[in-house]
């Protein structure tokens, strides 16, 4: 599936081809911290298709619980997380679903690091929670 994406402020934009059947929600504590939320939703990029159209993300390396080093990329202006990548030849990219134009079509098929999931995320419908269309 071809997608386009951008950061919140528009300083960074990109195109890629993704694997829509491999969308995953990650509940690891790193993703909770890096996203500022309860989890992060990611989708793998088809090898060699990620093309930056505008801007250059800032990057930093982090060692995952597995011991693998992972590069994280984000907008240096607004801080929007753009992707993570596993170093190697070639790089293996994973885009942040919230940055993609077609995100409504991307339904997760897997949840990983479930042991770190916050208890209330097991039922995200949250039928008891008030629902406001706008604040």
Q: What is the pLDDT of residues 51-62, one digit of tens each?
A: 999 999 999 998
Residue 35: closest CA among 88, 79, 86, 94: 79
Does 102 or 127 have the greater pLDDT score? 102
For the question of whether the overall pTM of this predicted structure is more than 0.85, the answer is yes
Mean pLDDT across the chain, nearest whole number? 91
pLDDT in tens, 103-120: 999 999 999 999 999 998
pLDDT at residue 81, as a whole number: 97
The sign of the dihedral angle between the CA atoms of 57, 61, 62, 64 is: positive
| Per-residue b or e along 15-46, where b marks 16 or more CB atoms closer than 10 Å to that residue's CB | ebebeeeebbbbbbebbbebeeebbbbbbbbe
How sure is the predictor about 90, in pLDDT bands with cuts at 50, 70 and 90? Answer: confident
What pLDDT score was predicted for residue 134? 75
Domains and CATH numbers, the chain: 2-118 (2.170.150.70)
* Mean pLDDT of all residues in 8-20: 97
Mean pLDDT across 10-15: 98
Alpha-carbon distance of 100 to 4, in angstroms, equals 6
> Nearest Cα to 85, choosing from 74, 93, 77?
93
Round to the nearest angstrom and report the end-to-end CA distance of the chain.
33
Return d(Cα 121, Cα 135) in angstroms, integer.
22
Residue 76 DSSP label: T
């Amino acid at each position: 599936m071809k997608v386009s994406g951008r950061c919140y402020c528009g300083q960074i934009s990109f195109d890629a081809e993704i694997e829509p059947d491999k969308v995953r929600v990650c509940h690891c504590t790193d993703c909770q911290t890096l996203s500022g939320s309860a989890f992060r939703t990611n989708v793998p990029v088809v090898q060699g298709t990620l093309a930056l159209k505008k801007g250059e993300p800032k990057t930093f390396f982090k060692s995952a619980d597995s011991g693998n080093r992972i590069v994280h990329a984000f907008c240096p202006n607004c801080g929007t997380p753009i992707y993570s990548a596993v170093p190697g030849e070639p790089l293996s990219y994973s885009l942040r679903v919230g940055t993609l134009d077609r995100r409504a079509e991307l339904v997760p098929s897997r949840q990983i690091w479930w042991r770190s999931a916050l208890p209330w995320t097991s039922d995200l419908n949250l039928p008891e929670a008030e629902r406001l269309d706008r604040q």
